[in-house]
Chains A and B, each alone.
Chain A
């Protein structure tokens, strides 16, 4: 079963007088439970592709399918609903809502989904324990380290059990030890929850965790490597 399918995606941005091709006829398929890294230098198109898959950005042309549903032609409201129900996001920074505690951040998506309070509490407790933040539930983001904050973001992304987690440079602001811990957590969650992970990164240490590595350059896919075979 295919978790994500992109067909001939094109996206061009205007930067001053120049047109920048962020996506240039990109087509990929990502299987369910996949663990994929999109790798590219800055401006290579990996974040644009991630945003297109997540319904945050609409391509100029081409088609995007998530869990078999075409999403590039959905309304803003329908895209928001899709992101709420099916996709978890982990961003590079500014990942958490600063006025909420770790637990409240984790419960945020579930709360918007309308999950009952007791159910939310049970799930957030379990997931925070799973990501190693037991005892820090009532801390606000400002009272936690960068690594702990990213763990909360991961916990939030997977708490409502989305079929797909999209992570954009999740380790960019973390030291190497914390980066490794986070990637091990991703691997663990991928293996145990069968969640599909698509991670945009240019960090080599992150790439080695992926089972599949897609390299991009100037908006095009230049390499697609099955790292298990390698």
Chain B
């Protein structure tokens, strides 16, 4: 411990010996770390929003289906449990929220145009916490109950169909016997979504109304469950799995939307690669600073060796100096990142590139997400790689022959 004390003292004082160089290097590390964390926060924000929005629109965190439904999402492949059985299984299971739906492909026709949509028969009360839009923000109104006879469509779909609030449209789908099941609905509400693609894709009707139209009694095509955190859905998955039998299959959200699941994994990898790439750029400066610091102190290092300091202690001193520099740089960078991300918590308007972002399923507002884990990751990577980068100059310093070092011109 006494030796660490003297090494730390020497390292700290040597760090400020050439304070201009140290400040420049600290600035470089600080900006580098800021870039790591800031860009990661933007990426995380974008991905989080894409995943959260997508989960809200479709999968929730966990779903159950008829085992054949994912390959053939027709009404024939519906869940065999009745609504009563579903309530018995899941009502008191303690999920954040859950809802059963009737979800089938359908054609919607106005007096001017027709489109293919996904028809969702929902119980508005159960669906409220899962829905990706706020019922109160629906133009007109949302469905009042499961037996509501109206329909709610996206604003963009209404534009495409050249229809509007209060007008009638016809929904056409197939019943279990592959006969046409159709019905006219009055548009009672227009919802908004982050992307126009979503607004065009989904039409909401009451679940009981859908069951009656399709002639499927009180059965559903999917049940969706929401937990607290999309990155940790295992508790929900296990709770659902233990309450059902082989007549249904249970899937996690990333098994249903494999694109999103893969993208999340890729983004996690990207963050690590990004952090390492930035560090590699920084490492040139770091190694150069250490090499210069060692080169300037050859005689002094020789003197310390001559006085009886062991080579390992010289190595330790240079590494401590490097770690101090990196730690200060990390503190600066983390602080800078926090100070610049916090004011942007309410979102960055990127509508100028909104269309491009929509292609990726992201909205035109970007909400940076600063995770402690990302700050820790950046710090650990910088310290670990910084340690490795400083080994070479430190090793070189510790290998000096005292006599040669003292007499170095």
Q: Which residues of A contact B (CB under 8 A)?
A: 51, 54, 56-57, 76-77, 80-85, 87, 89, 91, 94-95, 97-100, 104, 108-109, 111-115, 156
Contacts and interface: CB of A to CB of B under 8 A. Distances in A.
Contacts of A94: 299-300, 303, 406
Interface string B310-330: 110100000000000000000
A83 B306 contact: yes
B311 to A, nearest CB: 7
B14 A51 contact: no
A91 B6 CA distance: 22
Given A85-B308, A89-B307, A95-B303, A111 B406 contact: no
B5 interface: yes
Contacts of A97: 10, 300, 303-304
Interface in B1-52: 2-3, 5-6, 9-10, 13-14, 17
The 4 nearest A-B residue pairs measured at CB: A84-B308, A99-B13, A83-B308, A111-B6
A121 B5 CA distance: 15
B13 A91 contact: no
Given A82-B308, A91-B306, A100-B13, 16 more contacts: A54-B306, A56-B306, A56-B403, A76-B311, A77-B311, A80-B305, A81-B310, A94-B300, A97-B304, A108-B307, A111-B3, A111-B6, A112-B307, A112-B308, A112-B313, A115-B2
A64 to B, nearest CB: 14
Contacts of A114: 2-3
6 contacts: A80-B305, A81-B308, A82-B308, A84-B309, A91-B303, A112-B6
A57 B308 contact: no
A2 B10 CA distance: 37
Contacts of B307: 83-84, 89, 108-109, 112, 156
B188 to A, nearest CB: 79
Contacts of A108: 6, 307
B402 interface: yes
Contacts of B17: 98-99
Given A83-B308, A99-B10, A57 B403 contact: yes
B402 A56 contact: yes
Given A80-B310, A100-B13, A91 B304 contact: no
Contacts of A77: 310-311
Given A109-B307, A109-B308, A51 B3 contact: no
Nearest to A99: B13
A103 to B, nearest CB: 12
A98 B308 CA distance: 18
Nearest to B303: A94
Nearest to A95: B303
B14 A111 contact: no
Nearest to A162: B308
A104 B300 CA distance: 15
A79 B17 CA distance: 30
Nearest to A157: B307
Nearest to A115: B2
Contacts of B311: 76-77, 80
Chain A CB within 10 A, most for which of B9, B311, B402: B402
A115 B3 CA distance: 10
A81 B310 CA distance: 8
Nearest to B299: A94
Contacts of B313: 112
A98 B310 CA distance: 19
B402 A111 contact: no
B312 to A, nearest CB: 8
Nearest to B2: A114
Given A51-B403, A84-B307, A91-B406, A98 B2 contact: no
A12 to B, nearest CB: 15
Contacts of A56: 306, 402-403
Contacts of A89: 306-307
Nearest to B308: A84
A111 B300 contact: no
Chain B CB within 10 A, most for which of A77, A81, A111, A112: A112
